[in-house]
Each structure stands twice: as structure tokens, then as C-alpha cells.
Amino acid sequence: MTVPTEWILMVLLALATVISTLAAIIYRSLATEIASLRTIVAKLQDDVDRLSKGCGLGTCLYKNR
């Protein structure tokens, strides 16, 4: 019993298609998550910059750190 070459090629093509589709889905989901995390980090960095300047008083704890 022999397996036709076309069947083997079709199975390999189907596997390659499934793998590339899954890789594209994973990449897109991670890219959107990273983009949203970057915006959160940017907002937090703005807060850190604002707090590191202190409140303006000479006894401010944040200003002397």
C-alpha cells in the first residue's frame, strides 16, 4: 500500500497553513497587548515625572529623593 505523493504534499501544505495562521493570530494579539501596555507605561511615567518634582514645599519628601 502506497500513499500518493499529492496527499503528502496536501497534508504538509495544510499543516503549514494552520501553523502560519496561528502564528499570525498570536502575533497580532501580542502586538495589541504590548501597544496597550506601552500607553499605560507612558501614563505612569508622566505621573512619576510629576511626583519627582515635588509639591513645591521645602520639606517635600519627593523633592529630596
Q: What is the pLDDT of residues 7-47, one digit of tens each?
A: 999 999 999 999 999 999 999 999 999 999 999 999 999 88
**pTM of the predicted model, to two decimals?**
0.62
Using left for φ > 0, alpha for ψ between -120 and 50, and beta otherwise, residue 57 falls in: beta
The distance in angstroms from the start CA to the end CA of the chain is 79
The answer on pLDDT for 63 being more than 80 is no
| Grid cell digits, residue 56 | 513645591
The answer on pLDDT for 51 being more than 90 is no
Question: What is the per-residue pLDDT for 53?
Answer: 72
Question: What is the per-residue pLDDT for 65?
Answer: 52
- What whole-number distance in Å separates Cα of residue 12 and Cα of residue 42? 44
Question: What is the per-residue pLDDT for 56?
Answer: 62
The answer to whether the CB of 14 falls within 8 A of the CB of 22 is no
